[in-house]
Amino acid sequence: MISEQRFRRVGDYLLGEQKSMRIRTSQFLLAAMLMLACMGVLYFMRTVGTKGMGDVDTWALICSAGLVVFYVLIRSGFSLRMQDPSLAFFQMLFAIACNAIAFVIAGNGRGVALPILSVILMFGMFGLSMRQVMLVAVYGLALFGAAAVYTWHYVTTDEPAGIFVAYVCMLFIVLSATTFLTWRLQQMGAYMRKQKNQLALALDQIQQIATRDELTGLANRRFMLEKMREEVQRAQRTSSPLLVAMFDIDHFKRVNDKYGHQVGDRALQVFSSVVQNNLRANDTLARWGGEEFVALLTDTDVSVGKTCLERVRVKVADIAMSVGDDCLKMTVSIGTTPHRIGDTIEKTLLRADVALYAAKAQGRNQIVCIDSEPTSMAGRSEKSEQRGKP
């Protein structure tokens, strides 16, 4: 147990405690391991007596010093001041420079620079922007071009000229091919992201169609029933009050008959907007069917609910829609009831519908609340089911 804690503390010290820091330091350590492996390859070549090798020790010291600098910059958090805190772009430039020097000092074994360069490019290219990829390619071509010229003129070797030229050609091919492949992969990635965004948009539109009323933009009957069941379960767990209200625009058939369904649709939109704007943010309003709407008032007792619904009733009565030379006025009848623990949501809706029927029977443009089970509920059951359908 103690050793595990010590191991964890060492890991936190080396990699950092924050997840983002650990990701950056872990990526760096992987790159450092690759660099150390390349050093090992050159030392092995020197050990087996590869001809023409230069000062591997100085090269290894430079590479190690660079790794230490990058680690300190990343682990200390200094790199957070830069656009790319992982310093991937600068690490690649340093690694390519070290690889170009290795090409010069590796003597007859300079061909190892080819796979090392490939590893460097594969490890870092795909995390860069396309502009950075092009800069790396130009930088690499220039650096290896200079290394090749220097080696040709100043490094003594018995390596056949044809082999040396082949190495140089392969270096340029690797750089050019990697740049092209990176460009193609980034294009494919951009296309896939576009497709993903389009799919997400399509799914969102399907979700809107499935849960929203097309005319008013309110929640539809299906969504409201699901919402009600969720809130009923929450109310049962927390014993919080829940109020259901049903709205019916008074004499709405006359609007369609007199002005036509186009005006009727616009009246429904105006009505739903007024009601929505005068309910609270945590209340849910849905179009239940035709000119009927249902509101779910969460964490609301009867007294607070009546105050809120009265505000809605007054605001609806203030509506004045211009229809040609006429002014269309609207009123609304509202039936409301609290949900009782143990009742089904269907039973609560039926009580609200009975209350709405009573509001219309008593002269419309008013609110009726039913707290207890009404004696006339059974006779309203079938009619309520029919009126609830769109």
The answer, as to whether pTM is greater than 0.75, is no
Instruction: Report whether 279 contacts 379 (CB < 8 A).
Output: no
Instruction: Report whether 13 contacts 71 (CB < 8 A).
Output: no
* Residue ranges for the chain with pLDDT beneath 70: 1-3, 124-126, 372-390
Q: Which residues are CB-contacts of 168 (< 8 A; sequence separation ≥ 6)?
A: 144, 148
Supply the DSSP string of 53-113, one letter for each residue. ---HHHHHHHHHHHHHHHHHHHHTTGGGGSSSTT-HHHHHHHHHHHHHHHHHHTGGGGGGH
Please give the pLDDT value at position 2. Answer: 52
Measured between alpha carbons, how far is 98 from 62 in angstroms, rounded to an integer? 8
Give the single-character DSSP code of 163: H
Residue with tokens 């007294």: 303
Q: What is the pLDDT of residues 324-354, one digit of tens each?
A: 889 999 999 999 999 998 889 999 999 999 9
Joined together, the tokens standing for residue 10 give 């060492």
Taken as a whole, the chain contains a residue count of 390
Q: What is the pLDDT of residues 233-252, one digit of tens each?
A: 998 888 899 999 999 999 99
Helix, strand, or coil here: 158? coil
Instruction: Report whether 117 contacts 102 (CB < 8 A).
Output: no
Please give the pLDDT value at position 113. Answer: 82
Please give the pLDDT value at position 390. Answer: 38
Please give the pLDDT value at position 126. Answer: 66
Measured between alpha carbons, how far is 108 from 53 in angstroms, rounded to an integer? 7
